[in-house]
Amino acid sequence: MQITDKLILGKANLEVYSETLIELAREDRNVLAVTSDSRGSAKLVRFAKELPEHIVETGIAEQNLVGVSAGLASCGKKVFATAPACFLTARSLEQIKNDVAYSGFPVNIVGISAGVSYGALGSTHHSLHDIAALRAINNITIVVPADNTETCLSVKAAASSDKPIYLRFGKKPMPHLYGTDDRFEIGRASVLLHGDDIAFIACGEAVAPVFEAAQLLHNEGISARVISMHTIKPLDKETLITAANECSGLITVEEHLIFGGLGEACAAALMEEGVYIPFQRVGIPDEYTVTGSQTDIFRHYGISAEGLHASAINILKRTSKN
């Protein structure tokens, strides 16, 4: 099978999120969605129509949204607090820290339209800080699904979890990256493509362009390992270190600032284990983010098939000189 066979587009992850939530709420009256006037953006309009008693609307008040969600969770409700990631993890960071994580209530914080999904709306609507901010808070798991399969299974896992979880979703239709033999488990990365020349460790909507880059490399006789590190916290160090020991170079790819996100988490884990390998972080640098579509922004910062192909070639050139 060609690598590109996995790049046939499916649904947007938010559509799968809504469909899965409907399925769960029909089976369990304790499953609730709490939104901040974002049911349209979150694809929860159908959920609200079919299950009106399972949705709570706080209006554009993200701090109240998190506080209400924590209160509901304290009463045994399985809450999915849903709002744009850029506002949810900035305006209500204190409530996430104290009302949810410190208090230990199993609220599912759902950041929608994350990364640069809002594109042309600019930096005020880009969420490039959220993973870094939440990594610094105790007692919260961070999950960034890459495709429809990871989205469905992560939402189901979150509904049965007894601790806080942050789920991060973008907006665009996503390819079906999982094969029939691939397995998903929170806290365990998924090796979606095997190879031993270069390893890509990516999360969320950055995984698809990695597959495209892997195809370009494959055409040149270079094998690439593609790992979906969907759980950023806790990080799957075992899969990471195995890739570092078996491949000649490693590249992390994320729709987030290169500071405080997936790349730094991987770099710290490798250094602590004494594993040294040619390594590069690909993401958004520390500058005012350019404005444009998500595709344009990805291309500008090298989060594209061509950009990642070039990064891989540069890494392999470095290894050949050593």
pLDDT tens sequence across 199-225: 999 999 999 999 999 999 999 999 999
The per-residue pLDDT for 319 is 78
137 or 2, which is more confident: 137
Which comes out higher in pLDDT, residue 321 or 208? 208
Inter-CA distances, 320 with 152, 177, 249, Å: 42, 31, 11
pLDDT digits (tens, 9 = 90+) for 89-112: 999 999 999 999 999 999 999 999
Closest to 319 measured CA to CA, from 222, 248, 237: 248
- Quote the percentage of the chain above a pLDDT of 90: 88
pLDDT-derived band at 288, boundaries 50, 70, 90: confident
Q: What is the pLDDT of residue 1?
A: 42
CA angle 150, 156, 28 (to 5 degrees): 155
Tell me the two tokens of residue 71.
Answer: 């209160």
Beta carbons within 8 Å of 144's beta carbon, 6+ residues apart: 114, 131, 168, 203, 204, 230, 231, 232
Dist. CA 254–CA 263, nearest whole Å: 8
Structure confidence at residue 321 (pLDDT): 57
| Spatial distance between the Cα atoms of 219 and 200, rounded to a whole number of angstroms | 17
| All domains of the chain in start order, with CATH | 3-175 (3.40.50.970), 190-321 (3.40.50.920)
User: What global pTM score does this model have?
Assistant: 0.95
237 and 258 Cβ atoms separated by less than 8 Å: no
pLDDT averaged over every residue in the chain:
94
Which amino acid appears at position 100 of this protein?
Answer: V
pLDDT of residue 232: 98
User: Which one-letter amino acid corresponds to residue 71?
Assistant: G
180 pLDDT higher than 70: no
Q: Which percentage of the chain shows pLDDT scores above 70?
A: 97
Looking at residue 318, its pLDDT comes to 81
CA-wise closest residue to 51 among 34, 32, 70? 32
Buried b (16+ CB within 10 A) or exposed e, 253-278: bbbbbbebbbbbbbeebbeeeebebb
Q: What is the pLDDT confidence band of residue 176, given thresholds at 50, 70 and 90?
A: confident
Least confident of 86-100, 105-119, 180-194: 180-194
Structure tokens at 23: 């399925």
Report whether pLDDT(258) > 50. Answer: yes
